[in-house]
Amino acid sequence: MMATSDCIAVTFQGVHNDTFYMSEVDGDSFTISSRWFTYNLQCEDKKFLYLNHEGRLELQHLTSNEQSQLDCKFNIHLFNDNSLQERKGRAVMVYANKDGKKMVACCRSNNEVYAEAMDLPKKIEERQHKALFYMTMVVSNKYMFESTLYPSKFLGFEPDKRNSSLKAVVLLEKGHRGVDEKAEVTLTKKVI
């Protein structure tokens, strides 16, 4: 993709005879990529994210055998950002497969993150979407996922208010010092 002098996003389509052919890209949308990766997601205290039998996102310590279960394997599906704006990271959706459905991590008010069954959209016209995150690398296999719907809020983990031995998956705000370790997600290749 490139921008012409008029700031129109174009994609190279090919060359025929001696002519270059380009197509204009909608400058304010995301299109689904054919690329996706499967990982186990871990928080800073080594607990793994999984979908429980009720379809809720939870964290807990898991054995190697438990890590290989389908409910712990999360797919990170890449989206192409067609915008000319400065990118914050790679646009992605995070989901797990459960009972033949894609359970996608979505955001809503009150810093809540929940799983919703949905088909991945081929194209997202708006710049903000409940299930779209900007994924940026912190170091090596640690990443942060910033919500496009709630800028400066990141997918993270904090102690549950009702049960301190559990951690809830939430959106964490970026403070003056940046985002703390609770918003860093370790990606480990799926256990087979």
pLDDT tens digits, 50-61: 777 777 777 778
Q: What is the pLDDT of residue 170?
A: 86
Q: For residues 104-143, b (16+ Cβ closer than 10 Å) or e, as one string?
A: bbbbeeebebebeeeeeeeebeeeebbbbbbbeeeeeeeb
Q: What is the pLDDT of residue 191?
A: 45
Q: What is the pLDDT of residue 150?
A: 93
Residue 176: band (very low, low, confident or very high) from pLDDT cuts 50, 70, 90: low
Give CA separation, 182 vs 31, 47, 157, 173, in Å.
30, 12, 5, 11
What does the angle CA 151 – CA 160 – CA 74 come to, to the nearest 5 degrees? 60
Residue 115 pLDDT > 50: yes
Question: What is the pTM for the complete model shown?
Answer: 0.73
Residue 174 pLDDT > 70: yes
Dist. CA 93–CA 90, nearest whole Å:
10
Give CA separation, 158 vs 26, 145, 146, 154, 169, in Å.
38, 15, 16, 12, 7
| Each residue's pLDDT tens digit, 128-145 | 899 999 999 888 888 899
- Asked if 157 and 100 count as a contact pair (C-beta separation under 8 A), the reply is no
| Each residue's pLDDT tens digit, 9-45 | 445 555 666 555 554 444 556 777 767 778 777 777 7
176: helix, strand or coil: coil
Q: Which phi and psi angles does 67 have, rounded to 5°?
A: -65, -25
Residue written as tokens 């186990």? 40
| Each residue's pLDDT tens digit, 145-162 | 999 999 889 988 887 777
The token duo for 142 is 């640690």
- Asked if 33 and 80 count as a contact pair (C-beta separation under 8 A), the reply is yes
